[in-house]
Amino acid sequence: MTHEFELPDVGEGVAEGEIVSWLVETGDTVEEDQPVAEVETDKAVVEVPSPVDGAVAERRAEEGEMVPVGNVIIVFDTDGDGTETATKTDETETESTEEASEQASESGRVFAAPSARRLARELGVDIGAVSGSGPGGRVSTTDVREHAEDGDSGAEAESAIQPADETDASTTEAAATESAVSPANEQADREGTLAAPATRKLAEEQEIDIDAVPTEEERDGEPFVTPEQVRAYAERQQAAQAADTRAVQTEQEREERVPYRGIRRTIGQQMEHSKFTAPHVTHHDEVDVTELVETREDLKEAAEERGVSLTYMPFVMKAVVAGLKEHPYLNASLDESAEEIVLKNYYNIGVAVATDAGLMVPVVDNVDRKGMLQLSSEMNELVAKARERSITREEMQGGTFTITNFGAVGGEYATPIINHPESAILGLGEIKEKPRVVDGEVVPRKVMTLSLSIDHRTIDGAVAGAFTNTVKRYLNNPSLLLL
């Protein structure tokens, strides 16, 4: 008995996911709840568990393929070790491939993974001519490579045969050279062509003159064009155009295209919505954190003895909460539909984290109720999960204010974008030693820069300045945090 497993809804509002990697191979034995694949949505990367005990009979999606929620991605054999299912698959492979080819011809589609299509374009292979070995005749990257290698071998073998008539050989060689150099010029010149309605529709979709498609087939003495010939001609045209484009580019001008999807796209959409919704104003300032540096150094060893790595962030979070309590409009959001400003009496602080997938913002709840070590422990755990891309959607929701530390990469000032629907975000610059006047003398001090962006619809510049002054007071004298 087999069980077809559909890609589940791994997050609210998620319509599709990318198969990042398979964790099992065909024939592997799996247990219920065992992860079988890593899937990236526009929220996070999640592991998809097996719903049954059994064996992997078939994988129906390639790594890198975008799969709609509800599509079957893997088939399990729940009766045994998958041998019987694999045997049945082998017996029907030819039949399935032929059926898929026939369906592809009728619909004008080729069933192939995106990675296979990209490879075919790179190798100059007609994807429509590749025989798919996958389920339902799906073309894989392996199929494309084998087809390309077979084509090269065939070309070498053909060129090794010397025709008896030297004139014919020269003519053949010249024709082959012309075709290879300029496939776009390979076209017919007819006044009429026979073709099925579906073929004509395909030619229209590809913006191709069907009378220009080469064919040696005839029906009732008239030239007859098939869908495969239309697709092959279209791909040759596209390949020729791409070659022409590449020819005028230098190595330095060539581009690499990276898919804009998943988490990266979600981050971009969020930033765009925030920037075009809230009028941003950024307030910059500096704070002497010499005592903070000394205090953290004094407590660092004690924290390590308790298994906690103490950074400056918990001190900043506590100082921010002190500022938010004095200036509540920075701990608020604007309900535009109700035309109300929502002042929040809880303090959930988000900390922006740079990851390979982009900027993520884990949220530490109820910062005002937690001590330094607890804040450090929770924050470090969330940051690690974000970088490992194992953080859940819930752990990045519910924030009331966000802190971003661009000083970690050496920056001093920035204009951070507010994490909508919050009303403000504080950016931390690098702590540097700078000259300051203390008791009438110029001395070196540890100085950190602050960049506070606010939603000017609900927060005035004076309020932003007052909030920053409060935060500075606590960072300048960290002993005040004990109060």
* Residues marked as catalytic: 456
Are 16 and 66 contacting, i.e. CB atoms less than 8 angstroms apart? yes
Pair 291, 478: CB distance under 8 Å: yes
Instruction: Please list, residue by residue across 362-386, b when 16 or more beta carbons sit within 10 angstroms of its beta carbon and e when fewer do.
Output: bbbeebeebebbebbbbbbebbebb
Dist CA 335 CA 324 (whole Å): 19
Give residue for tokens 């309020």: 463
Determine contact, residues 36/23, Cβ cutoff 8 Å. Answer: yes
User: Residue 128: which residues within 8 A CB-CB, separation 6 or more?
Assistant: 104, 110, 228, 231, 232, 235
Instruction: Give the 3-state secondary structure of residue 299.
Output: helix
DSSP 248: T
At residue 5, the 3 state secondary structure works out as strand
Instruction: List, as one string, the DSSP characters of 47-102.
Output: EEEPSSSEEEEEE-S-TT-EEETTSEEEEEESSSSSHHHHHHHHHHHHHHHHHHHH
Q: Which residue has the tokens 């006047």?
A: 437
SS3 272: helix
3-state secondary structure of 37: strand
Relative to beta strand 353-355, strand 222-223 is: unpaired
